[in-house]
């Protein structure tokens, strides 16, 4: 919830997270190297450098596959929220592994020759007009550039200075990067290696990731379709007061394409934007903890009545006016400026059948 830019704001969960990421990544590479060197048929192992290049490439792709499943999985079950919490460290780990893959491949295959290695990367295979012959190196390079920009701007400093929508749009380039990496593998290793395991695993990873995103996204699309019917001006009928679970919210679409999170905390109801100030996290899927709306993604907090983070923090989100009339909760679709105090609607606990 902080606005002070420290390199990393450590806490116990982040340390456990990072140790697990480091341990599993290190173990993956180690097992790959030992297996590759020890168990080749005919006693002919690949040379250790090429084996290492492959281990790094496989690891980076596996990490990115895991990273891309976390978002939709967290939408399907809150059990995956702990993985989402420190996801950017997973991303930075992936970038470091991908850098090592890129650097070592550039050195081993392209250095020490009659051309500049970076020139060789693009001209040594000139078959840009062929599909199976296409220089897969260039696809990996473009994906690496995207990942580099993402890693370089991964800190919250950039998130704030680029603004959340620009930052999110920039980071959405990871999807084309993933598609490029799939093609980098298909047009590279899969053109040579004979085992069916590789196309099955690569295709399986891609279908799993895209399937999860499409499944989770379909739900969002249906919800957004609900908005089209909301052309009417004036206050919006959201639900009955006690349809909202205590300390939680109901998310309602608004006519202009935004979403409002209507929270109930005891006998009071307040409404705020559904988008967290931090990374546009879904506030309405969070809950009220210690009197504050708490984002399920990274735990940023806001007071329900005015949308301001509790001191010492100063983040503000838009609030919406709420009223209860004839047993229904109504929201004014016009957002108040971020941090505007509103009067919570009070539930008549007598009248409501508890």
Partner 1 sequence: MKRPHRRIHFLFWIVIAPITALVGYFSWQMRPATPFTELPPGIETISDASTDTSESR
Partner 2 sequence: MTNASKGVIDPQKKDPNEMFVGWASAPAVDRRFLLGALPAGLAASAGASWLIANELDDPGAGAWLTNATHQVTGVLTNHPYPMIRLADARAPFGMRTILVVAQGKCTSGLRLGDVAGKAVSASGVLIQREGRQMLEVPLFLGDWLKLADEEAAEPDALTNPQTEPLGKATLSGTIMDSKCFFGVMKPSLGKTHKACASLCIRGGIPPSFWARTRDGRESVLLMTDAQGGPMSMDILPLVADPVTAQGEIVRVGDILEFRADPNDYRRI
Enumerate residues 27-56 that contact partner 2 by CB under 8 A. 27-29, 31-33, 35-36, 39-42, 44-47, 50-51, 54-55
Please state the closest distance from residue 182 (CB atom) to partner 1, in A. Answer: 6
Which CB atom, from 136 or from 167, has the smaller least distance to partner 2?
Answer: 136
Please state the closest distance from residue 124 (CB atom) to partner 2, in A. Answer: 4
Contact (CB, 8 A) for 342 and 330? no
The phi and psi torsions of 188 (rounded to 5 degrees) equal -110, -95
Does position 214 bind partner 1 by CB under 8 A?
yes
Which entry of partner 2, partner 1, none binds 175, CB below 5 to 8 A by partner kind? partner 1
Q: How far is CA 15 from the centre of its chain?
A: 20
Window 96 to 155, contacts with partner 2 (CB under 8 A):
108-115, 120-121, 124-127, 133, 135-137
Q: Which of 8, 22, 166, 191 binds partner 2 (CB under 8 A)?
A: 191
Q: Which of 164, 201, 242, 247 binds partner 1 (CB under 8 A)?
A: 164
Tokens representing 195 are: 């085992």
Which entry of partner 2, partner 1, none binds 325, CB below 5 to 8 A by partner kind? none
Does position 286 bind partner 2 by CB under 8 A?
yes
Binding segment for partner 2 (CB under 8 A), chosen from 71-79, 93-101, 139-147, 342-350, is: 71-79
- C-alpha–C-alpha distance, residues 218 and 265, integer Å: 30
DSSP secondary structure string for all residues of 6-71? -S----HHHHHHHHHHHHHHHHHHHHHHHHHHH--GGG-PPPHHHHHHHHHHHHHHHHHHHHHHHH
- Which whole-number Å values give the CA distances from 261 to 77, 112, 223, 295, 349, in the listed order? 19, 60, 14, 11, 22
Which CB atom, from 6 or from 231, has the smaller least distance to partner 1?
Answer: 231
Window 298 to 337, contacts with partner 1 (CB under 8 A):
317-318
- C-alpha–C-alpha distance, residues 150 and 173, integer Å: 9
Q: Which of 78, 217, 226, 291 binds partner 1 (CB under 8 A)?
A: 217
Residues with Cβ within 8 Å of 85's Cβ and at least 6 positions away in sequence, in order, are 13, 14, 17, 297, 298, 299
- C-alpha–C-alpha distance, residues 207 and 215, integer Å: 12
Residue 178, helix vs strand vs coil:
helix
Please state the closest distance from residue 60 (CB atom) to partner 2, in A. Answer: 13
Binding site for partner 1 (CB under 8 A): 71, 131-132, 134, 164-165, 168-169, 172, 175-176, 178-179, 182-183, 186-187, 190-191, 199, 202-203, 206-207, 210-211, 213-214, 217-218, 220-221, 224, 253, 256-259, 273, 275, 277, 280, 317-318
């Amino acid at each position: 919830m902080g606005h002070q830019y420290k390199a990393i704001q450590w806490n116990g969960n982040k340390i456990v997270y990072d140790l697990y990421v480091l341990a599993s990544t290190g173990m993956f590479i180690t097992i790959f190297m030992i297996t590759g060197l020890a168990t080749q048929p005919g006693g002919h192992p690949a040379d250790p450098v090429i084996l290492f290049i492959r281990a790094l490439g496989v690891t980076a792709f596996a990490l990115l596959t895991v990273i891309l499943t976390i978002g939709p999985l967290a939408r399907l079950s809150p059990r995956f929220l702990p993985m989402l919490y420190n996801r950017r460290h997973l991303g930075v780990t992936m970038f470091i592994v991908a850098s090592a893959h890129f650097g070592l491949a550039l050195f081993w295959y392209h250095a020490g020759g009659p051309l500049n290695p970076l020139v060789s990367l693009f001209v040594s295979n000139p078959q840009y007009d062929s599909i199976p012959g296409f220089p897969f190196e260039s696809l990996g390079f473009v994906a690496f550039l995207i990942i580099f920009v993402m890693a370089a701007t991964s800190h919250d400093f950039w998130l704030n200075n680029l603004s959340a929508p620009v930052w999110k749009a920039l980071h959405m380039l990871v999807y084309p990067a993933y598609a490029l990496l799939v093609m980098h593998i298909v047009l590279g290793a899969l053109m040579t290696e004979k085992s069916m395991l590789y196309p099955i695993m690569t295709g399986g990873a891609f279908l799993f990731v895209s399937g999860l995103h499409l499944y989770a996204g379909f739900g969002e699309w249906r919800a957004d379709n609900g908005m089209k019917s909301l052309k009417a001006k004036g206050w919006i009928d959201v639900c009955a007061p006690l349809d909202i679970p205590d300390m939680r919210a109901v998310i309602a679409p608004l006519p202009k394409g935004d979403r409002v999170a209507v929270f109930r905390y005891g006998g009071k109801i307040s409404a705020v934007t559904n988008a967290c100030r931090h990374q546009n996290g879904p506030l309405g899927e969070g809950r009220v903890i210690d009197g504050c709306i708490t984002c399920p993604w990274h735990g940023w907090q806001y007071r329900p009545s005015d949308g301001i983070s509790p001191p010492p923090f100063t983040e503000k989100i838009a609030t919406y006016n709420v009223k209860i009339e004839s047993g229904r909760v109504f929201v004014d679709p016009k957002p108040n400026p971020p941090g505007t105090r509103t009067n919570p609607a009070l539930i008549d606990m007598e009248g409501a059948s508890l």
